[in-house]
Structure formats: C-alpha cells, structure tokens
Chain A
Amino acid sequence: DAKTTQPTSMDCAEGRAANLPCNHSTISGNEYVYWYRQIHSQGPQYIIHGLKNNETNEMASLIITEDRKSSTLILPHATLRDTAVYYCIVRVGGSNYKLTFGKGTLLTVNP
C-alpha cells in the first residue's frame, strides 16, 4: 500500500471549515484513499473514501487531485467534537482488507 504524508497538527476555529491535506504521491491506479479519525480514547471511526472522483457524505467531503497524488478532507463546519487525530490511508480496494495507519494529523478545533 502507498505511503501517505500528513501534517502533524492543525488548528481550526469552531464553525469554520477544516481542510486536512494528505500527500500520496506514490499511489497506484487501483488504490483508494480512506479517511478515519480517532477521538481521544475511542476506537477509530470511518469518515469517507474515494478512488478518483470527489466524494461527499454527511460527515465530510473528500477532494482528490486529478493526478491522484494528493487529497484534502474537508469538514465544512468544524465543531469542538471534531477534535481528533485524522488518518489518511491508501489501500488497494480488493486486497486483504488491512488498514495501515500512519501518524495522522491532530486537528484541534478551538472555540
């Protein structure tokens, strides 16, 4: 699975959009981009995933660049409860299903 690079930490004001970048320059054509988050002391939570098209669900939007070498997770209106470590994971869709977590980005939403 391709390696990802994320900033160690980011801050965001409550009510504003949080844009979390992820670089995956070695991604292969059959690899998906997944985003999970881990709120302190809880299990990781799935957010969204995509292959090459932009995706949106009730939690977030995922923007993948045309060359697929980077992506951005957007939380449109961040709340204090969105403070968490966000993990960007690249994985082959039909593989042995394992998720390889990196260090992630600690997003702190400030009041």
Chain B
Amino acid sequence: DTAVSQTPKYLVTQMGNDKSIKCEQNLGHDTMYWYKQDSKKFLKIMFSYNNKELIINETVPNRFSPKSPDKAHLNLHINSLELGDSAVYFCASSSGPYEAFFGQGTRLTVV
C-alpha cells in the first residue's frame, strides 16, 4: 500500500488552464503539506494543513489554492497556469513535527 499517493504523476497543460493535483495519505497523520521543487531542484514548502486547518501559507500566488476535505486528503488547485508553474509538486504528511512521508511527486509542465 502506498502511504502518500498523488495523482496524476505527470500533467502537461497549456498556459491559462486550471488544473488540480490530488493527494491522499493512509497513515492516519494529522498534518499534510505541499512542496514545490523547481528546475534548479530547490524544494520549498507551499502549504501545510493540520486537521483540515491551514497552518502554513508561504508566499505563494493566490492562483494556488489548497483544499483539505478531510484529514487524509489535501488537494492543490491551480488557476490560470503560467510557464513558471512548471515544477515537480510533492505532497507529504506527518504526525505532528515528526518525520514526514512524501509522495512520488507530480511533474507539471505548462506549455
């Protein structure tokens, strides 16, 4: 069983489109995250939810909107996609401040 699963794994879309990435964890964790890894391989946190409540919102354009329907799911919706949004997006979960488990990533390419 995959602990943290993301869908889709690859996403190619045109500029201006709206897309969503889904994340699910079956670890029973109460905290979930979205990280972005750009072309230079830097990993940066975007958002974090704890028990469905937003606790971290880094400097991210408001075109990005996370949604947590329940503790096991954290989806990322992106409006009006831009070329600069091309990156690998990782979902992660943890039980409080302890080790985080990451998904395999979603490679988003905006053309």
Contact = CB atoms under 8 A, between A and B. Distances in A.
B104 interface: yes
A100 B48 CA distance: 13
A42 B104 contact: yes
Interface string A11-51: 00000000000000000000000100010011111100100
Most buried by B among A41, A46, A85: A46
Interface residues of B, number: 24
A46 B45 CA distance: 16
B96 A97 contact: yes
B111 interface: no
Most buried by B among A34, A45, A98: A98
A93 interface: yes
Nearest to A44: B102
A101 B31 contact: no
Interface string B7-33: 000000000000000000000000101
A44 B4 CA distance: 12
A67 B38 CA distance: 35
Contacts of A94: 97
B56 A98 contact: yes
Given A96-B55, A97-B33, A101-B44, 5 more contacts: A41-B105, A43-B92, A44-B92, A95-B97, A97-B96
Which 6 pairs from chain A and chain B are nearest by CB? A43-B102, A46-B99, A101-B43, A98-B45, A97-B97, A44-B102
